[in-house]
Amino acid sequence: MALPEHSPELKFAVLAADVVLFTIDEEILKVRVIQVNRPPYYDHMVGLPGGLLLPHENAEESARRHLKEKAGIQSDEIYLEQLYTFSKVDRDKRGRVVAVAYHAFIPWEKLSDAEKEPSNSWWVPVVALDNLAYDHDEMLALAVERLRSRAHYTTLMSKLMPAEFTLTELEKAYEVVLAKDLDKRNFRKKLLKLNVLTELPRKRTGGKFRPAQLYTFTSSDVISIEVL
């Protein structure tokens, strides 16, 4: 593969990294979007954060940098998974751009105040998004689909949860992502049997009602749940 020397005419494309960054706030699945003020989208166009790779960067590093520079997300604790590479010839009207798309996850509780407040970039409920710039509608749809699918058979949800949470909070997060109600008793039985949660020696107090047992994910890795 690849020619011995890369003749300039083979460097016809630029590489970009785009990110679909998810969080859950107020029991709503939200995505970070930015203003796109570039040809052919002058103003009032909304898109996903992303941008070109620099020569010393790999795609994931570039995705992280653009999250910081364009989406104002300074946290280094963003969890990223590669989603898909979009290489259609005319996906960007301005020239050939091949985009490596990532989906990314951050618990709302880990965001700074500045990262929660809107500025050049802001959080929007997934259901409220369409008519994004470029092919970002397609990216978003793929990201949501992949998130749902991976929520079923991995512990990816751990990347949307704070360090400590109650089972009810975890259930609500699953319900938000899967967009359907779950049965409280069956949910608890199943999650506890999976052996991925550790019971903490404390409860969430200060609420008006009965204190709830706190849990944490035992491993910080996203692991596959054995289905077969």
CB of 34 to DNA, least distance (A): 35
Residue 157 contacts residue 176 (beta carbons within 8 Å): no
CB of 208 to a second copy, least distance (A): 34
Among the listed residues 189, 198, 202, 221, the single contact to DNA using CB under 7 A: 189
How many residues of this chain bind a second copy (CB under 8 A)? 53
| Phi, psi torsion values for 73, nearest 5 degrees | -95, 100
Strand pairing category for 165-166 and 41-47: unpaired
| Residue 13: DSSP 8-state | -
Candidates 54-62, 90-98, 136-144, 209-217: pick the segment binding DNA (CB under 7 A): 209-217
Rule CB under 8 A: say whether 3 interacts with a second copy. Answer: yes
Task: Collect all residues with Cβ–Cβ distance below 8 Å to 77 and sequence separation of at least 6.
Answer: 106, 110
Residue 104 contacts residue 22 (beta carbons within 8 Å): yes
CB of 25 to DNA, least distance (A): 18
188 binds, among a second copy, DNA, none (CB under 5 to 8 A by kind): DNA
Residue 72 contacts residue 30 (beta carbons within 8 Å): no
Residue 135 contacts residue 91 (beta carbons within 8 Å): yes
- CB closer to DNA, 6 vs 180: 180
Q: Please classify residue 95 by burial: count the beta carbons closer than 10 Å to its beta carbon, then call 0-12 exposed, 13-18 middle and 19+ buried.
A: exposed
Among the listed residues 20, 24, 51, 144, the single contact to a second copy using CB under 8 A: 51
Binding string, 73-102, against a second copy, x = CB under 8 A?
A: ---------x-xx-xxx--x-xxxxxxx--
167 binds, among a second copy, DNA, none (CB under 5 to 8 A by kind): DNA
> In this structure, how many other beta carbons lie within 10 angstroms of the beta carbon of residue 163?
12
For residue 74, what are the CA distances in angstroms to 77, 92, 114? 9, 28, 9
202 binds, among a second copy, DNA, none (CB under 5 to 8 A by kind): none
Rule CB under 8 A: say whether 47 interacts with a second copy. Answer: yes
Residues that bind DNA (CB under 7 A): 166-168, 183-186, 188-190, 203, 205, 207-213, 228
